[in-house]
């Protein structure tokens, strides 16, 4: 029997975060409303998707004589048991992995981290082997009359090491089980603090968490009380990292809790390079000022540190304004930054916001003699254009 190795994703563990699909250099990963799946004929086995996966769901390799189609995989709730025609699970052969890793580096499909970013630690703790943190504080950061309840939650890791960088995420493990009696999957949250901690040189970090109606993880986190224990996995993410060269310009575009990593970036600059030559430019969208997390602290930041542009889409008697409208309003300044090889762009927040931003960048480029399509390709290859939406 001619057995071949098939790369599969465990649907019971996958949290549908899209990290693997973004990481795959040959577009072998796709998804529907149910599952993330791997196309057998396209996957080269390079493993570029493995380290970005926060759950380990991606790391399954089965010996098969007849590969499962993506249509099969879309219907799965669990990885299937081996059966005649399909073999058992194997570890990928080391020499194949090594060989294919070299091939992936050459194809370079994945957006790398910025060249000046520090080396991150990832997957230090997992769902199977988490670390326990304690809640040091939980504060509402949207106005009392706002529709959205967004919280600033500080976790203290006490004597346990938890090394992280700005732009990474952590996984929260909600207690209890899902409807099928399985432990809940981890939920990812962006770290909102710089690497030295929410309080400098304390072993802690902050999250920015929005309560989602009937959501398991967000309600668990938003209801945590000071002193409560929390199981944490991570840190995760090795690409959406901050350039640590003070000469770099950073354009940050976000909505809602997408502000979390940018709070970390801004605090890193404010604490370590307050007079940095590089510019910070923030475009931040919300329905109303009351719905904007960190509105108060943000408006007090010095103008020399950060150029803040707010966009409100539901202000009474005002035209609806979105982040892409603000980008267009600042076209001259944005174009100036786009012309510099020291400029990095980050987009974080709701799924779908990328398209509006791309269209705005394309318009801005057209007006200033730049070609967005080729500039975007260069930015991605150089690790200067990053998108994280959820």
Q: Does the active-site annotation cover 254?
A: no
Asked whether the beta carbons of 312 and 352 are under 8 A apart, the reply is: no
- Based on CB atoms, which residue is closest to ligand SF4, 18 or 368? 18
Q: How far is the CB of 336 from ligand SF4 (least distance, A)?
A: 36
Catalytic (active site) residue 220: no
- 74 or 390: whose CB is closer to ligand FAD? 390
CB of 28 to ligand FAD, least distance (A): 20
Active-site residue, 196 included: no
Min dist CB 179 to ligand FAD, Å, is 7
Whole-number Å distance between alpha carbons of 205 and 192: 7
How many Cβ atoms are within 10 Å of 134's Cβ, its own excluded?
16
* 189 part of the active site: yes
Q: Count CB atoms within 10 A of the CB of residue 209.
A: 29
Closest CA to 376 of 353, 352, 389, 360: 360
Task: Candidates 47, 187, 269, 326: give the one binding ligand FAD (CB under 6 A).
Answer: 187
> Cβ–Cβ contacts within 10 Å for residue 174, how many?
20
Strands 229-236, 131-140: pairing is antiparallel
95, with CB counted inside 10 A (0-12, 13-18, 19+), is exposed
For ligand FAD, the binding residue among 25, 112, 163, 215 (CB under 6 A) is 215
**Per rule CB under 6 A, is residue 17 in the interface with ligand FAD?**
yes
CB-wise, 210 or 330, nearer to ligand FAD?
210
Nearest to 257 by CA among 92, 142, 354: 142
Residue ranges in 45-74 that form contacts with ligand SF4 under rule CB under 6 A: 45-49, 52-55, 57-58
Catalytic residue among 20, 348, 357, 365: 348
Helix pair angle (331-338, 353-367), 10° resolution: 90
The DSSP 8-state label assigned to residue 120 in this structure reads P
- With the C-alpha atoms ordered 143, 197, 169, 280, is the resulting torsion angle positive or negative? positive
The answer to whether 346 is a known catalytic residue is no
Residues 337/343, Cβ–Cβ less than 8 Å: yes
Residue 260 is a binding residue for ligand FAD (CB under 6 A): yes
User: Interface residues for ligand FAD in 219-248 (CB under 6 A)?
Assistant: 219
- Which of 8, 20, 70, 379 touches ligand SF4 (CB under 6 A)? 20
Q: Is the CB of residue 235 less than 8 Å from the CB of residue 122?
A: yes
The verdict on 19 binding ligand SF4 (CB under 6 A) reads yes
User: Which range in 18-26, 153-161, 224-232, 244-252 contacts ligand SF4 by CB under 6 A?
Assistant: 18-26
Note the residues at the interface with ligand FAD (CB under 6 A).
17, 169, 187-190, 208-210, 212-219, 257, 260, 388, 390
User: Which sequence positions are flagged as catalytic?
Assistant: 189-190, 348, 388, 390
């Amino acid at each position: 029997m001619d057995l071949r190795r098939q790369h599969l994703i465990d649907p019971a563990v996958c949290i549908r975060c899209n990290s693997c699909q973004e990481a795959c250099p040959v577009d072998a990963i796709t998804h529907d409303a149910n599952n993330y799946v791997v196309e057998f004929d396209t996957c080269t086995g390079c493993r570029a998707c493995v380290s970005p996966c926060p759950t380990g769901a991606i790391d399954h390799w089965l010996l098969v004589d007849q590969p499962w189609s993506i249509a099969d995989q879309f219907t799965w709730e669990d990885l299937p048991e081996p059966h005649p025609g399909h073999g058992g699970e194997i570890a990928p052969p080391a020499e194949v992995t090594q060989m294919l890793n070299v091939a992936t580096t050459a194809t370079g499909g994945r957006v790398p981290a910025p060249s000046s970013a520090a080396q991150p630690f990832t997957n230090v703790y997992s769902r199977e082997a988490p670390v326990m943190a304690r809640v040091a504080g939980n504060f509402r950061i949207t106005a009392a009359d706002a529709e959205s309840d967004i919280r600033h939650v500080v976790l203290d890791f006490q004597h346990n090491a938890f090394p992280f960088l700005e732009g990474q995420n952590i996984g929260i493990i909600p207690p209890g089980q899902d409807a099928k009696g399985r432990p809940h999957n981890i939920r990812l949250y962006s770290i909102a603090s710089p690497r030295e901690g929410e309080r400098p040189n304390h072993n802690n970090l902050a999250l920015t968490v929005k309560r989602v109606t009937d959501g398991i993880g967000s309600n668990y986190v938003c209801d945590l009380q000071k002193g409560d224990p929390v199981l944490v996995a991570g840190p995760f993410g090795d690409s959406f990292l901050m350039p640590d060269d003070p000469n770099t310009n950073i354009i940050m575009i976000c909505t809602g809790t997408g502000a979390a990593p940018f709070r970390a970036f801004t605090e890193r600059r404010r604490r370590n390079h307050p007079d940095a030559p590089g510019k910070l430019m923030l475009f931040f969208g919300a329905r109303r000022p009351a719905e904007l997390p960190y509105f108060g602290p943000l408006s007090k930041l010095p103008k020399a540190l950060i150029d803040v542009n707010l966009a409100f889409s539901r202000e009474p008697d005002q035209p609806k304004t979105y982040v892409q409208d603000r980008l267009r309003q600042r076209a001259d300044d944005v174009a100036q930054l786009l012309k510099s090889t020291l400029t990095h762009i980050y987009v974080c927040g709701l799924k779908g916001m990328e398209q509006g931003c791309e269209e705005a960048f394309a318009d801005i480029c057209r007006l200033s003699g730049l070609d967005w399509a080729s500039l975007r390709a260069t930015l991605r290859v150089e690790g200067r254009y990053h998108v994280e939406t959820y």
